[in-house]
Amino acid sequence: MKSSQDLLTLEIPNQDRLIPPVKVAVARLTEGFGLGPQQASGLAGAVAEACKNANRYAFDENDNAVIKVKAQLVGHRLLLAICDQGLPFDGDLLEKSGRGGTGNELMHQFADSVKVKNLGTGGMELVLTKVLPVSPNAQLETEAKDTPKADDLEYRLLGPDDALSISRCTYRTYGYTYLEEVYHPDMVSEGLEHGYLISYGAMTPEGELAGHLAVLKDEPDAPVGELALGMVDPSFRGHGIFQRLLPPVLEQVTKIGMLGLFAETVTVHTITQKGKHVHGWRETGVVLGYIGDRTFKAIEGGEAHARQAIILFYVTLNSCPRQTVYVPEHHHSIAEKIYAENGLDRQFGINAQPQNEAGEVVVESHPERGTANIYVEQWGQDTVAHVGHHLNDLTLKRIDLILLDLPLASPATGANVEAFEEMGFFFAGIVPNLLGEDVLRLQYLNNVKVEIEAIKTYSDFAGELLQYVLKEARL
């Protein structure tokens, strides 16, 4: 599901007079992917503004340098990258220019996500992502056959030849509101073939998919994955199909050596949480103000989910060696409980300030959902300041929920969390082995009202975690 194709690479000297041809080239390229003239022109304008900002703020007046513009098709997403190897990141200019942070109004209006990577002395990379429109597909819009009994279904691991059935089941469950790639059988087939996707389904005798559950992985050999793509065709609901899918999925990913799975679970009821507990999952955190953005067919008239909290869950599949993690001392107690609940062997290391002068910080924002993620990929002495500038920019752009992921394998994480908490971030939880190492997740709510009474928890530990998070949030 991650097939990619390079579409365009332009290198131009850092001169404003050379930017208009870049804008024309990007507009013509994007129109060819089904985007209307207004969308194509808006994206091209955003790229042009990013180039102008690089000219103004990335280089000294007499520098002879190059700006690179790249276009790439990844799955069903168009990526437009603007790269410069100019002056090191300047937070004050960031806020004024839009060179860093989440960019200018055009970027937020016409891109579905804006990703900024600060490379210190390596310059900046800004990536605008546009999800290409999904056209109605007659192959998907077929009605299910007569509903057989749940016992008549075949529960099995799915392969590339089942891709069309997965796309059809997605349409029947969600309409055209789910992940765009899933509506393209060729992309689903590629994901299944290369190991980005592990799918298990309940098949009818006619070969239609009645229910589906999958594990998504960032890389085929990723140690953990996300439990996702859970769906049951509306014609088959009420037969307990979904409960039959989870055990074989867990068995399959355990057999191939994955360390664990993570999932985000709703708090408007406790049914899903209870189901997770039955199969060995345990809580690792609570995120407040989460945005539910899925629309279900044939459920309460297809209304979208309202904003709600979610509980982070993890299930340990295979043991891994003891790891040293660098947690701030005031969070040691809750971290110990999270690790104990999940059977993970961790020891606390001695926290220390970073030695590198420049770090790497990635920001990915989703304006249409009101969310953003900040990732500290490498610590530097400038990292706290960079995160602060990004936070200021995101809040000014009225992003509601901002998540900050910090690598717990770095001593600098434990030494600097309090600085982030002084900015208004507070504890959300821990995601074990996310990218081969544990991640401490903090959250920031930008004038978001939390309906505490609407949050339902199943287990005693979930309730304890919720109270801890609310205390840290001062709610």
Span 322-350, mean pLDDT?
96
pLDDT band at 101 (very low <50, low <70, confident <90, very high): very low
pLDDT band at 439 (very low <50, low <70, confident <90, very high): very high
pTM score of the predicted model: 0.80
pLDDT band at 202 (very low <50, low <70, confident <90, very high): very high
What 3-state DSSP class applies to 86?
A: coil
- How far does CA 279 lie from the centroid of its chain? 25
Q: Is 94 exposed, middle or buried (0-12, 13-18, 19+ CB in 10 A)?
A: buried
Span 460-465, mean pLDDT?
96
Domains parsed from the chain with CATH numbers: 1-132 (3.30.565.10), 134-258 (3.40.630.30), 261-475 (no CATH)
Collect all residues with Cβ–Cβ distance below 8 Å to 250 and sequence separation of at least 6: 261, 279, 280, 315, 317
* pLDDT tens digits for range 14-58: 888 888 998 999 988 888 777 888 888 888 888 998 888 888 776
pLDDT on residue 139: 60
pLDDT band at 410 (very low <50, low <70, confident <90, very high): very high
Collect all residues with Cβ–Cβ distance below 8 Å to 59 and sequence separation of at least 6: 14, 65, 84, 86, 87
Cα(81)–Cα(83) distance, integer angstroms? 6
**Percent of the chain scored above 90 by pLDDT?**
38
Q: Is the pLDDT of residue 86 over 80?
A: no
Q: Is the pLDDT of residue 417 over 50?
A: yes
Q: How many CA atoms lie within 13 Å of 92's alpha carbon, on the beta-carbon side?
A: 0
* pLDDT tens digits for range 165-187: 998 888 888 887 777 778 888 88
With CA atoms as reference, report the closest residue to 173 among 215, 132, 217, 229: 229
* pLDDT tens digits for range 233-248: 888 887 788 888 888 9
pLDDT on residue 144: 55
